[in-house]
Structure 1
Amino acid sequence: MLHVLVIGQAWPEPRSSAVGGHMMQILESFLARSWRITFASTTEPAEHKADLSALGITELALAGDHASIAHLLTEQAPDLVLFDRFEMEEQFGTIVARHCPNALRVLETSDLQSLREARHQLLRRRLIEGLDPNDFRALFNTSGPELFRQMAPSALAQRELAAIYRCDLSLIISDVETDLLVNGFGVPDYLLHWCPLMLDPAAQTLRPFAEREHIVTIGNFRHAPNWDAVLWMKHNLWPMIRRHLPGAQLHIYGAYASPKALALHNPDEGFHLLGWAEDALQVMSNARLCLAPLRFGAGIKGKLADAMLCGTPSVTTPIGAEAMHGALPWPGAVAGTAEALAKACVRLYSDQAAWQQAQAACAPLLKTRYDRNRHAWALTERIEHSLAHLDEQRLYNFTGAMLRRR
């Protein structure tokens, strides 16, 4: 039985963010193999923290001093150390390598932060230049080489890539990001493992068109792409939709809404800021449509996966849909301008046949891209294979060996 030590940047909050949900899916994959898990973090538990102990996972408060960490590592003697995002590898990677040299070092990236930041900078540049605030097709079509040129000089990308090289295996949630790392930055593919969201099939009985109402969006307000999307909806997109659907209501849910966000609440405009959703899937199941007009970001989007699980058609941008559907049809609409997004919302909200066609696309997409059993098996098999060939893999990761000599 393998012993896994997770060093968490924060305690998992699966009902607050896709990041927390993905971590829980990884932990559940390990538990299915009867691996023993210890989860340690230097942060205080937040309000919506998952009860790991109820799953048989040991929870430890991690002290920040090296003597305490060295004692913990010696006492735990893990076979595998999972770093929850690259900052944890930066902080604890050296001491883990010193005290647990034979432990497999795995990095959960969640998404490429440097890609998200590069896209944010490109968006800011467009807005500063005063370009059309409703047409972002050129931004969304930024090529891989252009993204590489934007990312490569940044300290964030250099830190993130260094952590990937120093680890034995990095979990990449987006196959688009895998392609960027391999073909843009030259990272060897044996250091990477595609690990998307691992989901159960959609419910067999889905609420029909006539029993649903309103448009919903869900997202943690601390996540900059979500806040940007709320502002774009408020000032540009929602007024266009309301002109054609005067009775429609937009319900915006998310953890950690600030007073600044809550101040946007305006029932007269049908614009409702409703804070944290106790049951996000129930909220999504009641809605006729999910709207996610993301102008920048990375990874794959939990809100859109939740929409598929609930059979709720979604309208989003190419950033929102990126790496989520492969060659399969999107269960809703993808567009790069506010006008096209609004038009798609109006059509799907009003046209029952189009809505039903979009709903029917949810289940095949979930099965093909996000099957829990298949991805959980692939993840644990890859880890066991890496452990069995660890010396050979480290020999060929010469760049990682150099970086570990810092």
Structure 2
Amino acid sequence: MKKKLLVIGFVWPEPKSSAAGSRMLQLISFFQSQDYQVTFASACAKSDNAFDLSTIGVEKTTIELNHSSFDDFVVNLNPHAVLFDRFMTEEQFGWRITEQCPNAVKILDTEDLHFLRRARQQAFKDHEEVTPDDLLNDTTKREIASIFRCDLTLIISTTEMSLLQDTFKIDDSLLLYIPFLLGPISEEKKKELPNFEERQHFISIGNFRHEPNYNALLYLKETIWKGIRVQLPNAQLHNYGSYASQKVNQLHNEKDGFLIKGFAEDVNEVMQASKVLLAPIRFGAGLKGKLFDAMQNGTPFVSTSVGVEGVLSDTALEFVCDTSEVFINHSIKLYTESSSWKEQQTLGFEILEQQFSKNYFEGEFKKRLLSLIDNLKAHRQQNFTGQLLQHHTMRSTKYMSKWIEEKNS
């Protein structure tokens, strides 16, 4: 009999809209390779961009927040493991899993550390550097509590692993570094990619609802692009992304070559047609999917130290630019100098092969998962903080949920 995995999603996966959606499909693929039957459940309404999970053999279920019908559903499913796609879904449904399926392995995929992203965003708005005190916010306490309540938490960035281990002293047994799970790029594939001379224009891409992406778009419009166009008057910047609102579309200006292209049906196609990716991310967390799309398609990029976090340890490289002047100058250099362009393209391939091998990280995940299943009781006994947070006096979310259900009945 196949093992069962229940994924509880805050949203339905949208791999063409966000890196989080691609990440979820990678994790589902891993569990299917380990002979798990996967069920994906969410209380969120499906958007037009939602991936049809049934095409890859995943069962789909709509669930209700704050409703005991979930208890009946999960008892009948009786999963061997449960994956929460963000700490908020663990808050909402984790206590129900603990009560109804106490032997299921509980796994949290943070996507990125929400508390780190929010602290950086607030510091950016306040024109300040992030301090240790900024990290001790309410979101931090909620997210780390969720980590302790789970048996294993998947962390996407080496920077975030270090933060949890060194600053918050979370035991290694509760964490596993799992970045994007990417297959190798063959030499034949590399040779088929359009070369420097065959490409034109700059590109930016990202879900416009995501605040770091929208902020980067404004920065491009108001500062970066003006400086580039002075020296490259015939170049265009093609800005792709899902959920382009009116305020986004109003930035479109054909005279200036600043074009809002909207949703990209095929990211590989638009990335391969472009010469350079511009990603001036000024706050955020996790890995930036756009950089991986660029590297996989042989497209050099210019970004910031926040943008390359978890990808490059050497932020002194010239395409990591934290001031507008340096960003503009290097963007122009990559666009006009084939030698610099080819050098960075090669570096991108090396980064993918040396740091993000799918086979290696899936092997590590498999070993940890099997160990958890075989030693779950002992593992939980060592996590006293997690036991404490499961105690009824610490579980406000459970009783708030029950109160809402009673109020709505």
> Do Structure 1 and Structure 2 share a fold, with TM-score over 0.5?
yes
Mapped pair 1:243 → 2:230: yes
The yes-or-no answer on 1:190 pairing with 2:190 is no
Q: Deviations over 1:324-379 (max 9, x none)?
A: 1346996x710110000000000000011111111111211111122222222222
Match of 2:249 among 262, 271, 283: 262
Q: Within 2, Cα distance between the matches of 1:328 and 1:248? A: 27
Match of 1:349 in 2: 335
Q: Which of 354, 365, 381 is the matching residue for 2:351? A: 365
Using structure 2 for the length normalisation, give the TM-score: 0.92
1:220 maps to 2:207: yes
Give the superposition deviation at 1:398.
0.6
- The question of whether the paired residues in 2 share the 8 Å contact of 1:329 and 1:361 is answered with no
Structure 1 stretches of 5 or more lacking a match? Answer: 128-138
For 2:315 and 2:374, the matched residues in 1 are separated by 36
Aligned to 1:34: 35
Where 2:107 maps in the other structure, the secondary structure is: strand
What's the TM-score once normalised by structure 1's chain length?
Answer: 0.93
Is the counterpart of residue 199 in structure 1 residue 182 in structure 2? yes
**Residues 190 and 298 in structure 2, CA contact (< 8 A), matched pair in contact too:** no
Whole-Å Cα distance in 2 between the matches of residues 380 and 44 of structure 1?
32
What are the residue-to-residue correspondences of 1:7-406 with 2, within 5 Å?
7-126=8-127, 139=129, 146=131, 148-152=132-136, 154-202=137-185, 203-205=189-191, 206-326=193-313, 333-405=319-391, 406=395
Decide whether the 8 Å contact of 1:325 with 1:369 is kept in 2: no
- The equivalent residue for 2:400 is none
Distance in 2, Cα, partners of 1:92 & 1:305: 32
**CA distance, structure 1, for counterparts of residue 201 and residue 371 of structure 2:** 48
Q: Which amino acid aligns with 1:242?
A: R
User: How far is the alpha carbon of 1:21 from its aligned partner?
Assistant: 0.3
CA distance in 1, matches of 2:35, 2:101: 22
Contact 2:305 2:315 in 1 (8 A): no
- Percent identity over paired residues: 40
Query: Aligned equivalents of 1:310 and 1:47: distance in 2?
Result: 26
Q: Choose 391-400 or 293-302, whichever is displaced more.
A: 391-400
* Deviation sequence 1:223-247 (CA, Å, 0-9, x none): 0000000011111111011111111
Local SS of the residue matching 2:190: coil
Name whichever of 49-58 and 169-178 sits farther off: 49-58
User: How far apart, CA to CA, are the structure 1 residues paired with 2:373 and 2:315?
Assistant: 35
C-alpha separation between the residues in 1 aligned to 2:261 and 2:283?
Answer: 23
- Structure 1 CA distance for aligned equivalents of residues 149 and 301 of structure 2: 38
> What RMSD over aligned residues (CA atoms) do the two structures have, in Å?
1.4
Query: Does structure 2 conserve the Cα–Cα contact (< 8 Å) formed by 1:201 and 1:309?
Result: no
- What secondary structure, in the 3-state scheme, does the structure 1 residue paired with 2:238 have? strand
CA distance in 2, matches of 1:379, 1:2: 16
SS at match of 1:92: helix
The structural deviation recorded for 1:77 is 0.6
Aligned amino acid, residue 95 of structure 1: R
Secondary structure of residue in 1 paired with 2:353 = helix
